[in-house]
Structure 1
Amino acid sequence: MSQKLKIPTVRLRRLAAELRSLRSSAGLTRDEVLERTGINPATLYRVESAKANPQKRTLIALLDLYEAPPALRAEVLAMARGATEQGWLRPYHSELPQEYTAYISFENEAWEVRNYESLFVPGLLQTEDYVRAVIAGMLPQAGSREVDQRVQARVDRRAVLTKESPLRLRAVVDEAALHRAVGGREVMRAQMKHLLQMMDEPNVALQTIPFSAGAHPGMPGSFVLMTFADAEDPEIVYIDSMAGDLFLEAPVELRRYNAMFDDVMAQALSPSATADLITKLMKNNL
């Protein structure tokens, strides 16, 4: 994959939203902006959809046209200067799928992640051996280099839980994921121990939906809700599926997935009961 691939960031999304808002407040269509500034319509579309960071002269032309107040003008210009910073993304991550590197960037900037998993231990709580077994099993045709890159990326991601201002993780997992012997008994025993250790961290909460709960709203598949510290940065829903990865931002979708997560949490065991279940599984099966 090209080293020049641009991965969206929260700042780039916010910049795009601010420019759309300014154009709307000015009562202008994209065609009218083109007529009055000469900016290419494709360029304006890419800027307003967070697919490109505008050049400074383009941004100034837009701010002049929209008559942005001085304070807002300065804020937008500052936003643009840092809009493509990729946080902790490593150079080799440019070879990973675009959607996954975008996810990594968003996750690094998030304040809270709410993750429901039906078949796997949540990614941020996986041990390296578990990760390797998952990737090797899911991508049997992948070469050793690709597997190593994906494993390292997953391991690197865990740093968000221990950084200076750590990510808040709220995870719910179906009990089935705890029974699936990914990598064998020793790998699963180490994975269960790691879960218990991570559950002692104040920013991590893990709950399990037991088999006894029967059918529940999370059964169609896994999803992630990412919330950012600044209220101006909208939430994102991320879905990883065989049909492709999706990022959802529409308010109706956000409401639906927030409600779904609330529902699965309500049907899940408490964190302490989940710890008891994991301990019992280790004793009886591992």
Structure 2
Amino acid sequence: MARTTKHSPRVRALGAELREARDTAGMTMRDVAQKLGWHHSKYARFETGEQVPTPAQVSAIAATVGVPEAERERLTEMATDISNGDANWLKASSGHDELTTLLEFERTATSIVDVSPILVPGLLQTSDYARTIMAGEPPGEMERLVAMRVGRRDVLTRSKQPVDFTAIIAENALRQPMGGRTVMADQLRHIAKMSELDNVTVHVLPHELTNWTPAHAGPFILFDFAKSAPIVHHEHLSSSAFLSGAGDIQVHREAAVNLREAAMNPTDSVEFILRCATDMEDY
């Protein structure tokens, strides 16, 4: 298999799915490896994306951890797509697929740049704001997703190696009273509070800019990792793409630099956000 598949978005997404299935089953990596007659280090490499499992190996793992048949077929199909050479991008077929992959990348990233011209970045959302944008979900599912969204914040606040996070947020995302003015004012003050962390930097793109910026092309997230190639995430209405091609990474890295230059500096950004919060409350 081509070396380019190692650590690619689709391979790492498959590893994240296998890890989630194992955790759900309450099994350790040694448990799974022992049942399959493998050394635990071999199985560990499948979960981390260090080694690409064959479709047959994925099917065996899924059966061992008790994955339902339909889900087992989906995971096996992911492995088949990888073996066919389509490993450098991933089109998520459902919100669950995307969230599992996104959680894995957030958990293992050393730095994240989130360009967010439409909404507040997920890692900075309050539960009430998240609940508003997930209003289309069934009640029970919505609360589960909100809890997961808020729990993702741990990558920013954990005591050991918190991720270096930069948010570049368009003014329009700060001005729209999502969930009502009280909810939005609380959200804005939460962003300001999170910006006090040494590893969190917030920039605001003012709407008075007269020139085109890469933010006009839509939101994206750039992930950097200690031992893996960078990945870019694009989210769409019914699908999501994770890119790792060198050209794609360079374009998005340059876009992030350009946006930082166009945006307010961190101090002015936080002061602006707090003024927006006051405006929300006083309207």
Does the TM-score normalized on the shorter chain lie above 0.5?
yes
Task: Give the direction of change, closer, same or farther, for the CA distance of 1:52–1:282 in structure 2 (3 Å limit).
Answer: closer
| In structure 1, C-alpha distance between the alignment counterparts of 2:225 and 2:274, rounded to whole Å | 33
Aligned 1:1-286 pairs, distance under 5 A: 20-21=2-3, 50=11, 78=41, 80-84=43-47, 97-136=96-135, 139=136, 142-163=137-158, 164-214=160-210, 215-230=212-227, 233-286=228-281
Q: Quick one: distance in 1 between partners of 2:110 and 2:96?
A: 24
Report the TM-score, using the length of structure 2 for normalisation: 0.68
Equivalent residues of 2:164, 2:199 under 8 A apart: yes
Deviates more, 1:235-244 or 1:201-210: 235-244
Structure 1 distance, partners of 2:245, 2:202, is 27
Q: Which runs of 5+ in 1 are unaligned?
A: 1-18, 25-43, 54-76, 87-93
- In structure 2, the residue matched to 1:59 is none
Cα distance in 2 for partners of 1:155, 1:204 equals 16
The one-character-per-residue Cα deviations of 1:142-184 (angstroms, maximum 9, x if unpaired) are 2112211211111111111111210110110100000010111
**Contact 2:232-2:249 within 8 A present in 1 as well:** yes
Q: How far does the alpha carbon of each residue in 1:24-65 deviate from its partner, in whole angstroms, 9 at most, with x for none?
A: 9xxxxxxxxxxxxxxxxxxx99x9x72767xxxxxxxxxxxx
Q: Secondary structure at the match of 1:111?
A: strand
Q: Distance in 1 between matches of 2:277 and 2:221?
A: 27
1:156 maps to a residue whose letter is G
Cα displacement (A) at 1:85:
6.2
CA distance in 2 between counterparts of 1:239 and 1:216 reads 17
How big is the shift at 1:190? 1.0
How many residues were matched structurally? 211
Q: Is the 8 A contact 2:182 2:280 kept in 1?
A: no
Displacement of 1:20 in angstroms is 3.2
Measured on the aligned residues, the alpha-carbon RMSD in Å equals: 2.9
Partner-residue secondary structure (3-state), 1:213:
coil
The CA distance in 1 between the partners of 2:189 and 2:179, in whole Å, is 15
| Residues 237 and 249, structure 1, Cα contact 8 Å, conserved in 2 | yes
- Report the alpha carbon displacement of residue 81 of structure 1 after superposing the two structures with TM: 2.3
Asked if 1 retains the 8 angstrom alpha-carbon contact of 2:185 and 2:278, the reply is: no
TM-score with structure 1 setting the length: 0.67
AA of the residue aligned to 2:121: P
User: SS of the residue aligned with 1:113?
Assistant: strand
1:224 partner amino acid = I
Letter in structure 2 aligned against 1:239: H
Corresponding residue SS for 1:83? helix
**Which consecutive aligned stretches of 4+ in structure 1 deviate over 3 angstroms post-superposition?**
77-80
The gaps in structure 2 that reach 5 residues or longer are: 16-39, 50-70, 72-93
- Structure 1 vs Structure 2: percent identity of aligned residues? 26
Name 2:27's counterpart in structure 1.
none
CA contact 1:118–1:219 (8 Å) conserved in 2? yes
Bigger Cα Rg: 1
Q: Secondary structure at the match of 1:225?
A: strand
Alpha-carbon offset, residue 224 of structure 1: 0.3
Q: What is the distance in 1 between the residues matched to 2:14 and 2:102?
A: 17
Change (3 A) 1:175 1:84: same
